[in-house]
Amino acid sequence: MKKATSPKLEPQNFAEKAIWISIIWTYAFYFIGGLYILGAVLAWVLFGHLCMKLWQQNKDTPEEERITIPWGVWIWIVSMLVMQVALVMGHLDFDLSLGEIIKSTIGWAKGWALLALYPLIGCLKIRPQLMYRAASRICAFTLAISVPFVLAFYLRLPQKLYVSPLRAVGGPGPDFFEVMLYEIDPGEGKPRWRLFTPWAPALGFVANIYFFMILQERDRKLRWLGMAGCVVMCQISASRLALIAMPAVWLITLFLSKLSRPLTLIGLGITSLVGSITLNDIIEAVETFNEKFTAARKDSSRVRAALGRIARYRWEKEAPIWGHGVVEKGPHLVEHMPIGSHHSWYGLLYVKGIVGFYALAIPMAWSFIDLTAKAQKSESAKVGLSMVLVLMFYTFGENLEILAYLFWPGLVMMGIGFNAKDRVVENIPSLTAQKIDSREVVGK
């Protein structure tokens, strides 16, 4: 008998092709310095494609081809528009020029706007399994390419190879266009690797996003290679948050996605009882863990804490409603890092005030509740829930908007999760056994 061959998972429409190429060719775009540009351009191009599809949609459009935009996506859209309103009002409050407003608006279009555009793009006919396969391949490739990057340090090769000429188009800084083999942590004096990201902790962030997509990959060999790549990315980034978030998000997602099951509820009751009895021990354990976490990189923790204190103080005293409108270089105490950086919530309070703070808090809370409910029956919603949890963790360590150009696949998965129907996809046969039609995966 002739042995059957496993069909390849190939993109079937424009959106899938664009996303597939953008993920698979990550390193090609990185080496020409184009990743930052790609993240923004891809979002707006696919947004235009979605608008065209909606324009062409009518009562005769087949049900399986119709595009629907769920409440979760609309909330992100409205919230990110509120971000822009807060941005303009902050500029006006501090009498900043029209040129500054235009410049900041362009920055919004390349940052905060992506947090609404990519979930919206997830409403297109994009198969989750295509996303899982692309994530698995790029992380498996990262596992291999990390070897020469690590060897570069031991061979004493230069840290920086070059800065791409595409730096001329503008951006947050040269870090986004540099090609670095490795870097030395100024506080610890030890090597860290950032690979295709602008700084090492961002690599751990992206690894967490991809990891929870790869968990759903049907090809066992590719899944394990991809997961290994993610773990290596977390390890060489030397990011404490990355190493904590990965197991924490996995356990929380596993628990939340089974809330509708009686055994989970029984277990929750028992845990609550035990927790109430041992509350003091739990508090002491948390305090001890926090002390060790801070001591692991004292200089980094000191700078982050000081940045937070300065941001809170100046927000309360100077611009509580709309914020300052723009970032400001910090004093020597924080190594001249921008005030509000390294923390999404403090950054929002300082730049966009309490309005901007709630413009992120509300869609995050809605997404968590919505995807938790849908994750009881949908695999894609479960992955989307993992994405939200990762973002929640990283709001306390990064400014989300500045890295949205990298973790956008997670935002697309959130959009797919919002659109998840009641159909359960966990029982779909392996992709290595048969080719899955987009309607079967996304759901009618």
Note the pLDDT of residue 410: 95
| Prediction pTM value | 0.86
Query: What's the pLDDT at 120?
Result: 96
Q: What is the pLDDT of residues 171-189, one digit of tens each?
A: 788 889 999 998 988 777 7
Task: Report the pLDDT value the prediction gives residue 223, as an integer from 0 to 100.
Answer: 94
The pLDDT assigned to 334 comes to: 65
282-312 pLDDT, tens digit each:
566 555 655 555 555 566 667 777 787 888 8
Which of 21, 231, 20, 205 lies closest to 143, judged by CA? 231
Q: Please give the pLDDT value at position 425.
A: 40
Mean pLDDT, the chain, whole residue set: 84
**Who wins on pLDDT, 151 or 3?**
151
Q: pLDDT for 351-378, tens place per residue?
A: 899 999 999 999 999 999 999 999 988 9
Query: Could you tell me what percent of the chain has a pLDDT over 90?
Result: 52
Q: What percent of the chain has pLDDT over 70?
A: 83
Predicted confidence at residue 235, as pLDDT, reads 92
Residue 131 pLDDT level (bands cut at 50, 70, 90): very high
Residue extents of the structural domains in the chain: 14-57+65-137+240-257+297-442
Higher pLDDT, 310 or 414: 414
Of 230 and 276, the structure prediction assigns the larger pLDDT to 230
pLDDT digits (tens, 9 = 90+) for 82-124: 999 999 998 888 888 898 899 989 999 999 999 999 999 999 9
What's the pLDDT score for residue 4?
Answer: 40
Which residue did the predictor score with more confidence, 203 or 344? Answer: 203
pLDDT per residue as tens digits for the range 240-259: 899 999 999 999 999 898 87
